[in-house]
Structures are given as C-alpha cells and as structure tokens.
Amino acid sequence: MIRVVLPAHLRTLAHVGLEVQVEVTGVPTQRSLLDALEARYPVLQGTIRDPVAQKRRAFVRFFACEDDLSHESPDAPLPDAVVTGAEPFFVIGAMAGG
Amino acid sequence: MSGVRVLVGTRKGAFVLTSDGKREAWDINGPFFGGWEVYHVNGSPVDANRLYASQSTGWFGQLIQRSDDGGTTWEPVGNQFQYEGVPGTHQWYDGTPHPWEFARVWHLEPSLSDPDTILAGVEDAGIFRSTDGGKSWQELAGLRGHDTGHSWQPGAGGMCLHTIIVDPSDPDRVFVAISAAGVFRTDDGGRTWRPKNRGLRSGTIPDEDAEVGHCVHRLAMHPSRPNVLYMQKHWDIMRTDDAGESWVEVSGNLPTDFGFAIDVHAHEPETIYVVPIKSDSEHFPPDGKLRVYRSRTGGNEWEPLTNGLPQRNCYVNVLRDAMAVDSMDECGVYFGTTGGQVYASANAGDSWAPVVRDLPAVLSVEVQTLP
C-alpha cells in the first residue's frame, strides 16, 4: 500500500484524514498512483490533474523523500521508499494568499 | 408562502440565509465549502430542496455541488466540462488568438420544469447542460462555434458567460450574455445561436455598434413578459421589447449608467432595480453613497432608494449576479456587496436592512420563495 498525504481541501472533499493508503497494481508511477487514488475517491478526479489533459494542475506539486517529483515523468517509477510505504507521497497545494 | 431562503456565493464559501415571510429575523448557515470561491448557488424552481452550487479554486479546479435538502447537506457531482471538438481560439486581451480554456462555472440556471436539468455558463465563454442532476455535462457547442466566436474578447473579469435566461413560454428559447461578446439567443434549444445586440453602442470597440464585442454585464426578464428584457451594459441601461431584436437606452436620470446588477420586481414588470457604480476602474458607489435606483416606468425615470443603506464612506461594489427578488406578496429585494454585506428590503426597496454584515466578498445572491 502506498501512503498519500493530501492537502486540507482535498481531505475535506474526500472525507478522509491526513493520510490515505492506496493499492496500486503494476509498476507504481505517478500516473498509476493517481489513477488508483481517483478510482478510490472519485471526487478527486479533476482536482489534482486536469480532467481532460491529465496534466498536474499548476498550483499542485508532488513531493516525496525530501524531493520535488513534480516535474518527473508521470510514468517514471516512484521511489522505493514510497512503494514500500516507508515514506508518503505528498500532494501539495501551493501556499498563496487571497 | 412560508418564507424565503437566500443563497449567497462568496469568495470563500457559500451561505444559506433563511427567514419567515416577515423577512426581519434571519438564520445564517455556513460557510459551506469554506475557502473555495462560490460563484453561484441556485435552486430548482420546481423542487425548492434541490440546490446547485459552483465551487472552484485556482488550486483544485471546478466542482459542482448538489443539495437535495435545501442546503443542509451537499454532495459533489460532476466536474468535467469538456468543450466539444477542437476548441479553437478567441481573442486575448492584446488581440492575439488565445486557446479556449475552461476556468470555472459562473452561473447555474436550473430548468423551469425538471430538477435534474440545468444549464451552466462558463469561462471561457460556453454553455453546458446536464440532464442527470449535475453528474455529467454536455456543451451546447453551437454558441461557441458561432461565426464570430474567434473574435470574442474577455472583459476584465475573464471571458465569462454570466447570464442565462430561459423563456418561460418557450423552453427552446434561451438568452445568454457574455462579457465581452454580448447577447446571444437560441430558438431551437441551444443548437444554433444568433447575436442580439442591435442598438447597443460601445465607444470602447472599433465599431461602436458592431454585431458582437459589447460588454454586457447582466440581463433581467419578468417571466410574464418574455419579450421584454432589461440590460446593465458596461455603460448604459438598455431595454428590448422584441426579445433582443432591438435595444434602446433607458439610462435616463441615473447618476451613472455604469453598474453590474439589474433585476425586475416580481409582480410589476415595469419596475426595475439597478445599483449605479462609478467607473472606469473605481467600481464603487458615486460619492460613497450606496443607492439602489428603482424605475417604475421600465427605465428612463429613476428614484434613489437610500433608507437603511450607508450614505457616506461606502466603497463596496455590487457584482452582476448579486441581486435577486423574491415573490412574496410584498416583493423582497436583496443584494450582496464586495464588503460582505447582504441587504434585504421586504417592501420593494422602500427601506433596507442588513441581513448579515461581515461575510467574505459576495459574488452572487439568489432567493427562493418557499411554499
């Protein structure tokens, strides 16, 4: 199971706590992880990635293992520590005013 | 009728305000969707418990929320607004081609006969329809595909389709307004659309009476007279008596003919309300006095309504979707401000009182008259 930490607004939408666990079939990548996350919590479809283009939204970033993975290929394998559950995959909403 | 329910969308969530027929004491519920921009909340005319809300942020995009219990609980429904085909381009602010990009839903217009059917006006300008209670949305692409679509330009607030009015006598006839393209009408249920801007004059475009390109801020109609519409344009209050075939100016003696909101009395089709705003760019009431102006003659002759409204040091705005009327025996009029006040008049505008003073900036106000 892969651990995913969601920003507050998405936790509210999905009615979940700080961290959720998601099972990914095949090689875990950003794409397969987000596909699995959206399958389990359909309300998140379109909130992290554009629902049509499937591109990461501009004010959303992906962090894990103290690295910014936002610009990695969506099909690149996730770090082993994320795959084993030792480290969570963070979905981050940009800090901004207003 | 037992009372009213006022649906308020703000920069940081939605609020539901309820009162009995006296409209003096109010219950305030919310915020719903706290932290999200709620451009519009609207209720079904045939099922008062069925509400829809447009919830969005720049971070996480657009959601549509639905309530089946009058706003006590909400459920997210569909959020896929996909333009039909290859979207093409419109003009950007600088006049260069810019791809059509969905940003948000500005306005939700439930069907007059079916609680599961609803129209949505979006930015970049387009119109979508759902027939399954908001779960899925299909574009009525004939509008965006109009021959002039490539020439439409955004107003300062974005290229938004902000007004949808369905003709109560003919559900296939729908009026929409786009900033800054103008008014369009369909007579075939949304398949084809034609501009209806003859008579509008806008000094800020190259051809001041062009077929499209006018910054229409808002339209209003009385349901008993669907061929008569009133318009708050960027400048000018306009009126048509022939369903948009021709417009005439009825700004009359207003202190400024700029503004955003306009609405019609529930029982008097010739009584209309506007809130004059100073422009360009100031966008607050002239002289710091918040005044609603009422015409009982369908325009041209206007009287200021000030009783209960701040008459000094008031520098708020009233946005285009932030005025509404109820249909109680004595018509109630409501509006919200960018300062977070929602004002109500239970006597057609003769006197006003704040329902609530300190909400986030108000984007929209709708009223349901409860059975």
SS (H, E, C) chain B: CCEEEEEEEECCEEEEEEEECCCCCCEEEEEECCCCEEEEEEEECCEEEEEEEEEEECCCEEEEEEECCCCCCCEECCCCCCCCCCCCEEECCCCCEEECCCCEEEEEEECCCCCCCEEEEEECCEEEEECCCCCCCEECCCCCCCCCHHHCCCECCECEEEEEEECCCCCCCEEEEEECCEEEEECCCCCCCEECCCCCCCCCCCCCCCCCCCCEEEEEECCCCCCCEEEEECECEEEECCCCCCCEECCCCCCCCECCCEEECCCCCCCEEECCCECCCCCECHHHCCCEEEECCCCCCCEEECCCCCCCCCCCCCCCECEEECCCCCCCEEEECCCCCEEEECCCCCCCEEEECCCCCEEEEEEEEEC
CA of A53 vs chain B CAs: smallest distance (Å):
10
Average pLDDT over residues B53-82: 96
* In the predicted structure, residue A12 carries a pLDDT above the cut 70: yes
Q: What is the pLDDT of residue B290?
A: 98
Q: Sketch out chain A's domains with CATH numbers.
A: 2-93 (3.10.20.30)
Q: Are strands A2-5 and A89-93 parallel, antiparallel or unpaired?
A: parallel
Dihedral (C-alpha) B35, B36, B39, B42: value to the nearest 10 degrees?
-90
A70 at the B interface (CB within 8 A)?
Answer: no
* ∠ CA B63-B7-B355, rounded to 5°: 140
Under the banding of pLDDT at 50, 70 and 90, the label for residue A98 is low
- Residue matched to tokens 């961290």: A19
Q: What is the pTM (predicted TM-score) of this model? A: 0.96
Per residue in B289-319, pLDDT (tens digit) is: 999 999 999 999 999 999 999 999 999 999 9
Mean pLDDT over all residues of chain B?
A: 97
What is the structure's pLDDT at B116?
98
Q: What span, in angstroms and rounded, lies between the C-alpha atoms of B341 and B290?
A: 12
- Residues of chain B whose beta carbon is less than 8 angstroms from a beta carbon of chain A are 35-36, 57-63, 76, 79-80, 82
Q: Pick A94's closest partner by Cβ from B59, B80, B82.
A: B59
Contact list in A for residue B35 (CB cut-off 8 A) is 9
Q: Which residue of A has its CA nearest to B103?
A: A50
Q: Which residues contact A53 (CB under 8 A, 6 or more apart)?
A: none
Q: Report the share of chain B in percent with pLDDT over 90.
A: 96
Residue pair B237/B257 in contact (Cβ under 8 Å)? The answer is: yes
Task: Confirm or reject contact between A10 and chain B (CB < 8 A).
Answer: yes
E-assigned strand segments in chain A: 2-5, 19-22, 60-64, 67-68, 89-93
Give me the pLDDT at residue B280, please.
84
Q: How far apart are CA B95 and CA B77, in angstroms?
A: 36
A81 SS3 class: helix
Give backbone dihedrals phi and psi of A53, rounded to 5 degrees, phi first. Answer: -80, -15
Q: Give the mean model confidence (pLDDT) for residues B344-359.
A: 98
Count of CB atoms situated within 10 Å of the CB of B301: 12
pLDDT band, residue A52 (cuts 50/70/90): confident
Interface contact flag, A59 B58, Cβ < 8 Å: yes
Q: Which two tokens stand for residue B131?
A: 């027939």
What is the dotted CATH code of the domain comprising B29-312?
Answer: 2.130.10.10
Which pLDDT score, from 0 to 100, does residue A15 have?
95
Rounded Cα gap, residues B311 and B38, in angstroms = 29
Nearest CB to B59; choose among A45, A50, A57: A57
Residues B221 and B165 sit within 8 Å (Cβ to Cβ): yes
- What pLDDT shows up at residue B288? 97
Comparing A23-27, A93-97, B182-186, the range with the smallest average pLDDT is: A93-97
Does A50 contact B at CB distance below 8 Å?
Answer: yes
For position B1, what pLDDT does the model report? 73
Which among B255, B263, B271 has a CA at the least distance from the CA of B304?
A: B255
pLDDT for B332: 98
Confidence of residue B60 (pLDDT cuts 50, 70, 90): very high
pLDDT in tens, B100-157: 999 999 999 999 999 999 999 999 999 999 999 999 999 999 999 999 999 999 998 9
Q: Which residues pair with B122 in a beta bridge?
A: B105, B126
With contacts defined as CB-CB under 8 Å, which chain B residues touch A34? none
Across the interface, of A13, A51, A57, the residue whose CB is closest to B80 is: A51
DSSP 8-state secondary structure symbol assigned to residue A62: E
Do B35 and A9 make contact, defined as CB atoms within 8 angstroms?
yes
B370/A35 Cα distance (integer angstroms)? 43
* Contact status, residue B271 vs residue B296, Cβ threshold 8 Å: yes
Using alpha carbons, select from A32, A45, A15 the residue that is nearest to residue B135. Answer: A45
Compare CB distances from A51 to B36, B57, B79 and report the shortest one's residue: B79
A48 touching B (Cβ < 8 Å): yes
Per-residue pLDDT at A23 exceeds 60: yes
Banded pLDDT at B231 (limits 50, 70, 90): very high
Least confident of B14-18, B253-257, B277-281, B303-307: B277-281
Average model confidence (pLDDT) for chain A? 94
For residue B107, how many other CB atoms are within 10 A of its CB?
23
Residue A94 pLDDT: 86
Q: How confident is the model at residue A40 (pLDDT cuts 50, 70, 90)?
A: very high
Q: What pLDDT sits at residue A69?
A: 97
pLDDT surpasses 90 at A83: yes
Residues B51 and B67: their CA atoms lie apart, in Å, by 5
Confidence of residue B224 (pLDDT cuts 50, 70, 90): very high
Measured over the CA atoms of residue B149, residue B136, residue B216 and residue B338, the dihedral's sign is negative
Q: Do A57 and B79 touch (CB under 8 A)?
A: no
| Measured distance CA(B77)–CA(B50) in Å, rounded | 13
pLDDT of B90 above 90: yes
- Whether A96 has a pLDDT exceeding 90, the answer reads no
Strand partners, A13: none
Query: What residues of chain A lie within 8 A of the CB of B60, using their CB?
Result: 9-10, 47-48, 57, 59-60, 93
